[in-house]
């Protein structure tokens, strides 16, 4: 260990201790939000008193999250292999994939709960949360294969299967496993959200809904930190398995900055021209098929809608004009905040990435805090957010930033970590300081990654605003969804779900096209 | 695969939730599934007591109990045949019947008087709808229409009250960030007291909104096919509630390791709840009573706010057979 890293590690430890002490003092003194932020010691004491409750709930969440993780990653693996073999399939499926990625969980949980029995909604939401990041990593890993090795297989008469078997799987394993590692915490959060809604059998989400009425922030933080710990353990456990299979070549995380997950390979002619249309239509076809599957079960016609049913609700049913008006008015409230939230979320992510790069101990101190914001269920943090930021613009933006900044931060930090060290030496050799290096090297270098971060953050920002509307402000699409549930107005519920997914997909597509343009301009396109 | 087999498999996939357990089948019991309106708490004591005492079995029923939650819509559960009987709010049930043509019917009412009310702190009390003017009130989004209806019935323009979402956590009320919240008055005042403050509340029922709550709802189809079982369910459940109210402190301790295990709520809280709800449920005609006067009052209030309630949405004949 060099002297620098030892000094940095000491700095990080000191930073973490300082952070913990400040939190303790703020909690004890009731400085934050009139005492709504509990001190770490109060949280620990409460957790000790509740120790009899935790094992069953942790096991419950672990059970459905594990099942969801296995289902989601198997699906990701099978489709990822198929996409690598047949790039056209990936183009055709791109609409479905982006829909799964951009789907706001709060819109689909009530639908999953009514359509599926028992614990199935927990497993399905968890699998859906895992699928997209895992699939991106599988495709990226398999495509990364060394072309010379592929040629070698071909020279020896091997086909695509042999290439997959001998080269792609082996070469891609580290990336693939690191993708699964990033996806593991998503499985925990997916299960928890569905538990919260269904309140059925044991799980941390069930414990949370029962505990909300106690006005006991220490309990809520205890549950949230248990969820965080579970996510971190999932991350580490998959990491350990990965290290066992792939040795120490596992990259730190998936290089999402390379426009991964977008289909490669040239397709020409009418097939190519019809692909976008197919990609657009396929999600609707699957939706229609799902509706038919539901019809074969006992789920009531009153609770589900097929594409025609949503169109009817919005266009030709009695009262369609009012239905359209309701949704348009709600969207007009939600969308500006989503756009502002993306911008602010990216700014925070970028600032954090720069801070982590220039002052590593400070970055390492802030990282655990960032992780907590990712796995703490937001409903447990709502009182704190509304007490600090209010129930207007401030509260909405705070929640939206907390939902968007983390994946953006990871992506930008990866980009900055790849800045060739020689450039830094060059700047300092010419007498330039950190400011010059930042302006002339780091920011231009990070631009493509910033675009990738934008693509990841945009759909999440819409989700963040909807959560804030649901929890804090009572406005916009998030509120409309909830009120419609009170009226059992499934036409509106499905319409809001469709509109929010469409807007999220549109934001994602716009960001992806911007990214492609930037990548071309900076000559990073492969 | 025949449709019947598919259903059998789905029932099996539900971890036996809807299928009769082997021992129950051996005793010739018929499965009946109840969808509750919320997570396990004192709101559903009567059913737990009746199950423990074997009173459903005595009626030939094997009762399965499904807890509710924020995303569970009880009416949707019976419409989708996940459950045979559900407990829900009268306004959503009748709204579903009249606007969605849902084939539902109400056969009893657990709460004669709705426990839902506006809860504020004694230090900043709100005792009447008029005192809500200019205040910030947290209301669960699913109940927003009900509160707006109450304001309208009391001649208050809804724009004069700021309604924000309530996420079931009283902390913002305790910290003064909001002035009141809409919740079960049988429950939240306990929490507020346990935090060293005093609560003031009024029931919506006392201000021109005399609605039932936790009405017992079934589909028309179930009513036609399983009438005797539903009468048996009501009879056993009423016995359970009567037994429970003999001493509201007697049964909650028995369920701390079973029904209430891991819900995160305390025994004292359940006993407080159980005591407070007795007066809202008990009736000279027995628990679940649907008297003509009460139905009329409920319908009038609903009609005032645009929900076209009618006599045919209630079937009082099963109670008469108990």
Question: In sequence order, what DSSP letters do the residues of A211-267 get, joined into one string?
Answer: HGGG--HHHHHHHHHHHHHHHHHHHHHHHHHHHHHHGGG--SS--GGGTTTS--S--
Estimate to the nearest angstrom the gap between the alpha carbon of B1 and the chain centroid. 39
Taking contacts as CB-CB distances below 8 angstroms, the residues of chain B near A197 are 69-72
- DSSP H or E segment with residue B214: strand B213-219
- Label residues B191-221 b or e (16+ Cβ within 10 Å = b): bbeeeebebbbbbbbebbbbbbbbbbbbbee
Query: A261 and A138 in contact (C-beta within 8 Å)?
Result: no
One domain for residues B261 and B221:
yes
Contacts of A173 (CB under 8 A, 6+ apart): A141, A245, A246
Distance from the B320 Cα atom to the nearest Cα atom in chain A, whole angstroms = 30
Question: CA–CA separation, A27 vs A50, rounded Å?
Answer: 20
Contacts of A267 (CB under 8 A, 6+ apart): A87, A88, A91, A275
Among all chains, which residue has been given the structure tokens 């097939």? A271
Distance from the A327 Cα atom to the nearest Cα atom in chain B, whole angstroms = 16
Angle in degrees, CA A332, A345, A328, rounded to 5: 10
Question: CA–CA separation, A446 vs A448, rounded Å?
Answer: 6
Among all chains, which residue has been given the structure tokens 């990625």? A101
- Starting at the earlier edge strand, list the strands of the sheet with B116-121: B162-165, B136-139, B180-184, B116-121, B199-203
Nearest by CB to A486, from B92, B262, B266: name it.
B92
- pLDDT average, residue stretch B23-40: 85
Counting Cβ atoms within 10 Å, is residue A507 exposed (0-12), middle (13-18) or buried (19+)? buried
One domain for residues B102 and B134:
no
pLDDT over 50 at B6, yes or no: no
Distance from the B316 Cα atom to the nearest Cα atom in chain A, whole angstroms = 25
CA-closest candidate to residue B76, choices A173, A214, A488: A488
Taking contacts as CB-CB distances below 8 angstroms, the residues of chain B near A483 are 141-142, 144-145
Banded pLDDT at B4 (limits 50, 70, 90): very low
Q: Do A215 and B96 touch (CB under 8 A)?
A: no
Q: Do B165 and A199 touch (CB under 8 A)?
A: no
* A337, A370, A405, A464, A465 from A344: Cα distances, Å: 10, 16, 8, 12, 13
Taking contacts as CB-CB distances below 8 angstroms, the residues of chain A near B261 are 56
**Of the residues B186, B206, B226, which one is the last residue of a structural domain?**
B206
Banded pLDDT at A420 (limits 50, 70, 90): confident
* A10, A11, A220, B108, B202 from A4: Cα distances, Å: 10, 10, 39, 75, 66
Distance from the B60 Cα atom to the nearest Cα atom in chain A, whole angstroms = 25
Tally Cβ neighbours within 10 Å of residue A520: 10
- pLDDT average, residue stretch A123-139: 90
Which residue did the predictor score with more confidence, A264 or A153? A153
**Of the residues B175, B206, B237, which one is the last residue of a structural domain?**
B206
Bridge partners for B181 per DSSP: B119, B138
pLDDT over 60 at A260, yes or no: no
pLDDT over 90 at B103, yes or no: yes
pLDDT of residue A523: 54
Q: Do B171 and A215 touch (CB under 8 A)?
A: yes
Q: Could you say which residues from 486 to 505 on chain A have a Cβ atom under 8 Å away from some Cβ of chain B? A: 486-490
pLDDT over 50 at B291, yes or no: yes
pLDDT digits (tens, 9 = 90+) for A211-255: 988 889 999 999 999 998 998 888 888 888 877 776 555 444 444
One domain for residues B291 and B222:
yes
Distance from the A346 Cα atom to the nearest Cα atom in chain B, whole angstroms = 28
One domain for residues B148 and B84:
no
pLDDT digits (tens, 9 = 90+) for B173-215: 999 999 999 999 999 999 999 999 999 999 999 999 999 999 9
Banded pLDDT at B319 (limits 50, 70, 90): very high
Q: Do domains A32-254 and A305-526 have the same CATH topology?
A: yes
One domain for residues B69 and B150:
no
One domain for residues B102 and B246:
yes
Nearest by CB to B39, from A109, A199, A379: name it.
A199
pLDDT of residue A522: 67
Question: CA–CA separation, A7 vs A46, rounded Å?
Answer: 36
pLDDT over 70 at B62, yes or no: yes
pLDDT of residue A253: 43
pLDDT of residue B105: 98
Question: CA–CA separation, A146 vs A502, rounded Å?
Answer: 38
Among all chains, which residue has been given the structure tokens 């960030």? B177
Question: CA–CA separation, A504 vs A508, rounded Å?
Answer: 6
pLDDT of residue A362: 84
Taking contacts as CB-CB distances below 8 angstroms, the residues of chain A near B177 are 383, 386-387
pLDDT digits (tens, 9 = 90+) for A350-405: 999 888 888 888 888 887 777 777 777 788 888 888 889 999 999 999 999 988 88
pLDDT over 60 at A264, yes or no: no
Report chain A's mean pLDDT, rounded to a whole number: 84
Q: Quick check: A290 contacting B, CB < 8 Å?
A: no
pLDDT of residue A448: 81
Q: Do A298 and B80 touch (CB under 8 A)?
A: yes
One domain for residues B100 and B247:
yes
Tally Cβ neighbours within 10 Å of residue A147: 8
Structure tokens at B235: 């009879």
Q: Quick check: A312 contacting B, CB < 8 Å?
A: no
Q: Do B76 and A199 touch (CB under 8 A)?
A: no
Taking contacts as CB-CB distances below 8 angstroms, the residues of chain B near A50 are 264
Banded pLDDT at B15 (limits 50, 70, 90): very low
pLDDT digits (tens, 9 = 90+) for B241-267: 999 999 999 999 999 999 998 888 899
pLDDT over 50 at A325, yes or no: yes
ipTM reported for the complex surpasses 0.90: no
pLDDT of residue A329: 96
Q: What is the CA radius of gyration of chain B?
A: 20
Question: CA–CA separation, A243 vs B226, rounded Å?
Answer: 60
What is the DSSP code (8-state) at residue B37? S
Q: Quick check: A483 contacting B, CB < 8 Å?
A: yes
- Report the CATH fold assignment for A32-254: MetI-like fold (1.10.3720)
Distance from the A66 Cα atom to the nearest Cα atom in chain B, whole angstroms = 18
Q: Do B145 and A488 touch (CB under 8 A)?
A: no
Q: Does residue B35 sit in helix, strand or coil? A: strand
Report chain B's mean pLDDT, rounded to a whole number: 90
Banded pLDDT at A488 (limits 50, 70, 90): confident
pLDDT of residue B219: 96
Among all chains, which residue has been given the structure tokens 């509710």? B68
Closest-approach residue (CA) in chain B for A217 = B171
Q: Number of CB pairs < 8 Å for A and B?
A: 192
Banded pLDDT at B8 (limits 50, 70, 90): very low
Percent of chain A with pLDDT over 90: 28
What is the extent of the structural domain holding B170? 116-206
> What is the longest distance spanned by two Cα atoms in chain A?
74
- pLDDT average, residue stretch A485-509: 86
Counting Cβ atoms within 10 Å, is residue A494 exposed (0-12), middle (13-18) or buried (19+)? buried
Instruction: Round to the nearest angstrom and report the end-to-end CA distance of chain A.
Output: 37
Banded pLDDT at B26 (limits 50, 70, 90): low
pLDDT of residue A98: 86
Bridge partners for A292 per DSSP: none
What is the number of domains present in chain B? 2
Structure tokens at A74: 């198997």
- pLDDT average, residue stretch A1-10: 73
B155: left (phi over 0), alpha (psi -120 to 50) or beta: left
Torsion angle defined by CA atoms of residues B154, B160, B162 and B163, in that order, rounded to the nearest 10 degrees: 30
pLDDT of residue A179: 78
pLDDT of residue A251: 47
Of A62-66, A431-435, A456-460, highest mean pLDDT: A62-66
Query: A433 and A368 in contact (C-beta within 8 Å)?
Result: no
Taking contacts as CB-CB distances below 8 angstroms, the residues of chain A near B83 are none
Domain with residue B284: its CATH number is 3.40.190.10
pLDDT of residue B25: 59
- pLDDT average, residue stretch A405-419: 82
Q: Which CATH architecture has domain A305-526?
A: Orthogonal Bundle (1.10)
pLDDT of residue B191: 93
Nearest by CB to B80, from A56, A118, A303: name it.
A303
Taking contacts as CB-CB distances below 8 angstroms, the residues of chain A near B186 are none
Distance from the B41 Cα atom to the nearest Cα atom in chain A, whole angstroms = 9
Closest-approach residue (CA) in chain A for B74 = A114
One domain for residues B77 and B7:
yes
Torsion angle defined by CA atoms of residues B283, B286, B288 and B293, in that order, rounded to the nearest 10 degrees: -50
- Starting at the earlier edge strand, list the strands of the sheet with B213-219: B61-66, B30-35, B85-88, B213-219, B104-111
CA-closest candidate to residue B205, choices B279, B284, B123: B279
One domain for residues B199 and B240:
no
Question: CA–CA separation, A135 vs A83, rounded Å?
Answer: 9
> What is the longest distance spanned by two Cα atoms in chain B?
66
Distance from the B322 Cα atom to the nearest Cα atom in chain A, whole angstroms = 30
pLDDT digits (tens, 9 = 90+) for A105-115: 777 887 788 78
Q: Where are the domains of chain A?
A: 32-254, 305-526
* Angle of helix A204-211 versus helix A217-246 axis, rounded to 10: 170
pLDDT over 80 at A65, yes or no: yes
Which residue did the predictor score with more confidence, A247 or B14? A247
Estimate to the nearest angstrom the gap between the alpha carbon of A503 and the chain centroid. 17
Nearest by CB to A118, from B17, B141, B167: name it.
B17
pLDDT over 80 at A268, yes or no: no
pLDDT digits (tens, 9 = 90+) for B111-149: 999 999 999 999 999 999 999 999 999 998 778 878 988
Banded pLDDT at B16 (limits 50, 70, 90): very low
One domain for residues B46 and B69:
yes
**Of the residues B162, B183, B206, which one is the last residue of a structural domain?**
B206
Taking contacts as CB-CB distances below 8 angstroms, the residues of chain B near A110 are 71, 73
Contacts of B113 (CB under 8 A, 6+ apart): B203, B205, B210, B279, B280
pLDDT digits (tens, 9 = 90+) for B77-86: 899 888 999 9
Taking contacts as CB-CB distances below 8 angstroms, the residues of chain A near B265 are 210-211, 213-214
pLDDT of residue B267: 95
One domain for residues B262 and B313:
yes
One domain for residues B293 and B229:
yes
């Amino acid at each position: 260990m060099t002297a620098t890293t030892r000094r940095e590690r000491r700095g990080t430890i000191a930073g973490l201790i300082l952070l913990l002490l400040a939190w303790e003092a703020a909690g004890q003194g009731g400085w934050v939000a009139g005492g709504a932020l509990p001190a770490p010691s109060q949280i620990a004491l409460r957790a000790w008193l509740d120790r009899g409750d935790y094992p069953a709930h942790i096991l419950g969440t672990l059970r459905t999250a594990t099942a969801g993780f296995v289902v989601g990653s198997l699906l990701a693996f099978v489709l990822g292999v198929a996409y690598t073999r047949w790039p056209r399939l990936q183009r055709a499926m791109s609409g479905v994939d982006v829909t799964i990625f951009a789907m706001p969980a709060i819109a689909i949980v009530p639908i999953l709960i009514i359509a599926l029995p028992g614990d199935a909604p927990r497993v399905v939401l968890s699998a859906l949360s895992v699928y997209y990041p895992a699939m991106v990593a599988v495709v990226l890993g398999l495509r990364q294969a060394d072309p010379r090795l592929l040629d070698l297989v071909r020279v020896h008469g091997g086909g695509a299967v042999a290439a997959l078997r001998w080269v792609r799987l082996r070469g891609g394993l580290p990336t693939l496993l690191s993708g699964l590692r990033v996806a593991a915490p998503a499985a925990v959060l997916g299960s928890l959200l569905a538990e919260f809604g269904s309140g059925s059998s044991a799980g941390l989400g069930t414990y949370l809904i029962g505990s909300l009425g106690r006005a006991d922030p220490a309990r809520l933080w205890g549950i949230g930190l248990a969820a965080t710990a579970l996510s971190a353990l999932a991350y580490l456990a998959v990491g350990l398995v990965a290290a066992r299979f792939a040795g120490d070549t596992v990259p730190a995380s998936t290089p999402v900055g390379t426009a991964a997950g977008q289909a490669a390979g040239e397709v020409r002619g009418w097939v190519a021209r019809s692909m976008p249309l197919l990609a657009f239509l396929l999600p609707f076809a699957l939706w229609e098929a799902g509706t038919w599957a539901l019809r074969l079960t006992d789920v009531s016609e009153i609770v589900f809608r097929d594409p025609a049913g949503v169109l009817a609700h919005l266009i030709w049913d009695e009262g369609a004009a009012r239905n359209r008006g309701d949704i348009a008015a709600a969207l007009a409230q939600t969308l500006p905040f989503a756009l502002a939230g993306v911008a602010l979320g990216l700014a925070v992510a970028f600032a954090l990435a720069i801070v982590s790069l220039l002052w590593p101990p400070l970055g390492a101190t802030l990282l655990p805090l960032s992780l907590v914001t990712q796995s703490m269920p937001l409903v447990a943090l709502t009182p704190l957010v509304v007490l600090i930021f209010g129930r207007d613009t401030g509260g909405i933006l705070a929640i939206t930033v907390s939902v968007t900044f983390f994946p953006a931060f990871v992506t930008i930090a990866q980009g900055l970590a790849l800045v060739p060290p020689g450039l830094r030496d060059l700047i300092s050799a010419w007498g330039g300081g950190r400011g010059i290096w930042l302006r002339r090297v780091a920011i231009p270098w990070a631009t493509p990654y910033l675009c990738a971060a934008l693509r990841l953050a945009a759909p999440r920002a819409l989700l963040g605003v909807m959560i804030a509307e649901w929890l804090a402000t009572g406005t916009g699409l998030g509120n409309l969804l909830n009120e419609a549930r009170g009226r059992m107005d499934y036409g509106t519920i499905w319409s809001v779900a469709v509109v929010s997914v469409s807007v999220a997909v549109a934001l994602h597509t716009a960001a992806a096209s911007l990214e492609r343009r930037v990548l071309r301009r900076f000559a990073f396109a492969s | 695969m025949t449709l019947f087999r598919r259903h059998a498999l789905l029932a099996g996939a539900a971890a036996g939730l809807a299928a009769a357990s082997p021992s129950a089948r051996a005793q010739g019991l018929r499965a009946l599934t109840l969808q509750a309106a919320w997570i396990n708490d004192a709101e559903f004591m009567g059913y737990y007591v009746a199950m423990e005492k074997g009173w459903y079995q005595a009626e030939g029923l094997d009762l399965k109990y499904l807890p509710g939650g924020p995303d569970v819509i009880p009416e949707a559960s019976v419409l989708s045949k996940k459950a045979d009987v559900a407990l829900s709010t009268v306004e959503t049930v009748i709204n579903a019947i009249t606007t969605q043509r849902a084939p539902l019917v109400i056969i009893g009412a657990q709460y004669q008087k709705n426990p839902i009310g506006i809860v504020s702190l004694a230090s900043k009390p709100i005792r009447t709808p008029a005192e809500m003017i200019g205040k910030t009130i947290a209301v669960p989004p699913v109940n927003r229409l009900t509160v707006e209806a109450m304001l309208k019935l009391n001649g208050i323009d809804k724009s004069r009250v700021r309604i924000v979402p309530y996420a079931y956590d009283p902390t913002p009320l305790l910290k003064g960030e909001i002035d009141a919240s809409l919740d079960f008055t049988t429950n939240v005042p306990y929490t507020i007291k346990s935090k060293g403050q005093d609560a003031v509340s009024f029931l919506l029922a006392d201000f021109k909104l005399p609605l039932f709550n936790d009405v017992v709802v079934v589909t028309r189809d179930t009513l036609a096919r399983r009438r005797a079982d539903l009468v048996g369910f009501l009879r056993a459940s009423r016995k359970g509630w009567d037994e429970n109210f003999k001493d509201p402190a007697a049964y909650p301790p028995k369920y701390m390791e079973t029904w209430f295990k891991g819900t995160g709520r305390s025994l004292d809280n359940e006993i407080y709840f159980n005591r407070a709800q007795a007066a809202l449920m008990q009736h000279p005609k027995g628990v679940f009573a649907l008297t003509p006067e009460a139905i009329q009052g409920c319908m009038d209030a609903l009609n005032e706010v645009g929900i076209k309630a009618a006599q045919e949405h209630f079937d009082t004949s099963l109670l008469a057979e108990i």
